[in-house]
Amino acid sequence: MGLPPSYAAALGPAGARPATRHPGAAASPRPGLADLLTGTLAAEVLRDDGAPLDLVTLAELAGRLAAADGLWRPVVRHDPDRRWYTRLLLTGVVEVWLIGWAPGQHTEVHDHGGALGALAVADGEVEEDVHTARAGSWEQRWTRRHSRGEVIRFAADHVHRVVNRAQGPATTIHAYSPPELPLRYASSDTTRAGRLSTPIAPTAVTATSVSLAPAPVTGGWAAPADGRPAMTTAADR
């Protein structure tokens, strides 16, 4: 099953040099979303409405995309100054993000607005500081490391912070269902426990499309001048 036009875009070189080949040799096609989303997975993912995806399907989707390095490697960037991300896919039931992590970059402590999620490590490694709610705050309980090839699934009440504490860059793919739900996040990232903020709607982004334009976001949290909590972007998920 191919991708409808609203969900598919050609993956250009994005600055990568084309592979050298002998004259007359057939070019090796780079895998695209249409090659990866087939059969039952395509039927589940490429819907405009209906029930959200379950954790098994989310993990399969994220893992399959992460394993296809010909899909994401020409696109991803690792900017030492600003955490890089782009949305690969948005349908009525799921959104998928590609994130490039330079050493030291991190999200803030956040939930996922009630969405189910899956995180696949495509390259490198990241650490996840897992938090739980207690007495109106989120407290860090443990840290776990995720390496290349790992796919983790998390329920609707999962709270975490993702950090690249390694010496080299990392690349991850994140899938969430339902898509585009408002997040909550800790109002301060300077202590182990953070006060919960109220949900704030995410900033608008182009819907039902594959976006490959870089959309950087700084790795640190900063409160706006009026003192209200700032909204974390989808890449903070």
Would you list which residues are annotated within the binding site for Fe cation?
110, 112, 160
| 187: CB partners within 8 A, 6+ apart | 194, 195, 196, 197, 223, 229
Beta strands in 57-134 (DSSP E): 84-90, 95-101, 116-123, 125-134
Point out the annotated binding site: 110, 112, 160
* Lookup: tokens for 33: 């979303």
Environment class of 82 (CB within 10 Å of its CB; exposed 0-12, middle 13-18, buried 19+): middle
Cα 215 from Cα 101, distance rounded (Å): 13
Quickly tell me which residue has 């059969």 as its tokens. Answer: 39
CB 186 within 8 A of CB 49: no
Q: Measuring CA to CA, how many Å separate 62 from each of 2, 141, 176? A: 18, 26, 10
| 39: CB partners within 8 A, 6+ apart | 1
Dihedral sign, Cα of residue 219, residue 133, residue 114, residue 123: positive
